[in-house]
Amino acid sequence: MNMKQAFTLSLSLLILVSGFSQAKKSTTAKPTTNKTVVAPTKKTIATVEKPAVNDGGHDISITLNPAKNQKVYLGCYYGKGKAIMDSCKLDESCKGHFKGAKKLVGGIYFVVSQAYSIQFEVLVGNQQNFHITGDTTQKDKFEITGSVDNDLFKSYSKSTSEIGTIINNLSGTLKDAKTTADSAKIRTAMKEKNAELLKVRDDIIEKNPNTLMSALLAAMRRPEAPAIPVDPITKKADSTYPYRFVKDHYWDDVVFADERLLRTPFFEPKIDEYLKYYVSPESDSIIPEIQYMLLSSRDSKEMYAYLLTKFTNKYINPEYMGQDKVFVHLFTDYYLHGDTTLLDTKSKKTIIDRGYSMMLNQLGSVAPPLDLTDTTGKVISLYSLKNKFTLFAYWDPTCGHCRQEIPVLDSIYRAKWKNLDVKVYSAISKDDLLPELKKFIIEKNLPKDWYYTYETRAAKEATEKAGVPNFRQGYDLNKTPIFYLLDAEKRIIGKNLTIHQIDDLISKKLKTNSK
């Protein structure tokens, strides 16, 4: 059984390319901690102490047949990616050393051949002076001597493989059971063997508390809900109990400041699974969860920076409408308090520009003013429109996607929205596209009661001189097309949706209002 199988991970062995970036520890100063947020109360059982990783050095010798005179690499998992951490040149006897003045940060590493193919995986813990023997023609047959962590892993793999085989055999006989009693007996045996598997894991954690193997097994451990309680009065079982139990105890054995977890292929997927299955997609539910992780990782510059970057990337362009509020939270409570020191110049500008833009157009907030010029030269104020709904459409008449979407918008408007008191206030992305706009209106016979507007150069210069956000910043307009749906009071009730999603939203709002 290889390491991926023992850790119940589904990973493909990818061919590495020389472009892997080397993962380095952050050298930035610790960000300011004058936050206005408080971590939610969570039960945390810190079963693993974070080890010192930079005292001493590493000297991992290797014999890799038949790769004489070839260069080999030592890589590690890093979040969902991989990184090359060291290399060495094998001699005539196929021997070499991965050697350095500093210890490697612990984690799951792997040996990579000169052809950039992963050979096998290795646990690198505190003990970093050991020997690896392997063969490129028999990747599953390798030996590691002089490493407690790898001895533990070998023993664990042997036990789990043996017990797993018995469980699989029992499962196979279940379908052939003749009676209910036989089925019950087999299920009991399977349950006992599963308990034995858990005991093997728990024994390693208990008896070897400061090893990497213990840390990995503890971090991977999934809470097991006890029997569902039954209300003594109603005699009804609480069907939500298992979900709530697992959610409440999901992070019990994870030490977020332990940066060794970054160098595993399961830690980041564990976070993603939690956010997907145990946290409501509403931003107000997400914020306390990621806040807990960030504040819990403060003692590790590397882990903190990694998580902050992960959550920033995830919510700056969120999967669901309204989740950009999570990014705004990160911006106001973290980046504006000094955490931009973690960013390069380009990333810092992106974060600051998007942060200030998104603050102006959150769901439920009043839409920023729009006073743009139409095709006749008249200034049209958004707030002069008095109707149940206003659709603000930002587009480009030369954009292929826009040229497909605007006629669809026209069809739905004529067939349905016009009778529902929906007004369309459109704006093109550049003033020099005015001729193209007029041409497109005629070509597609677009409605005459829409507002077709643009920002004149004079208006743009005046806005810049005044130092106030322009309409693109106010609506976070970084692509085309973009649609906003506003209610009668010009509050934002929909953004970054497709036309058909907007149609559904209008129908739902009308039903809600009628009730």
The 10s digit of each residue's pLDDT in 245-259 is 999 999 999 999 999
pLDDT of residue 55: 61
pLDDT tens, residue by residue, 424-466: 999 999 999 999 999 999 999 999 999 999 999 999 999 999 9
pLDDT (tens digit per residue) in 61-78:
999 999 999 999 999 999
pLDDT at 340 (0 to 100): 73
Per-residue confidence (pLDDT) for residue 210, from 0 to 100 = 86
- Check residue 341 and give its pLDDT: 73
What is residue 339's three-state secondary structure? helix
**How buried is residue 168: exposed, middle or buried, by Cβ count under 10 Å (0-12/13-18/19+)?**
exposed
Average pLDDT over residues 155-167: 90
Averaged confidence pLDDT in the chain? 87
Tens-digit pLDDT profile for residues 191-217: 999 999 999 999 999 999 889 999 999
**pLDDT tens, 16-35?**
222 233 333 333 333 333 33
Instruction: Enter the DSSP assignment of 37.
Output: -
Spell out the domains of the chain, with CATH numbers in brackets.
3-147 (2.60.40.1120), 254-359 (no CATH), 371-514 (3.40.30.10)
Share of the chain above pLDDT 90, in %: 74
Using a 10 angstrom Cβ sphere, with 0-12 exposed, 13-18 middle and 19 or more buried, the burial of residue 27 is exposed
Average pLDDT over residues 105-128: 94
- Run of H or E including 486: strand 482-486
Residue 411 has pLDDT above 80, yes or no: yes
Lowest mean pLDDT among 1-10, 70-79, 232-241, 433-442: 1-10
CA-wise closest residue to 214 among 159, 242, 175, 255: 255
Res. 47 pLDDT band, cuts 50 70 90: very low
- Please tell me the least confidently modeled range out of 20-24, 264-268, 275-279, 477-481: 20-24
Structure tokens that stand for 139 in this block? 């990747």
Residues whose CB is less than 8 angstroms from the CB of residue 102 and which lie 6 or more positions away in sequence, other chains included: 54, 56, 57, 58
Q: Tell me the Cα Rg of the chain.
A: 30
Quote the CA–CA distance of 146 and 60 in Å, as a whole number. Answer: 10
Residue 221 or residue 49, greater confidence: 221
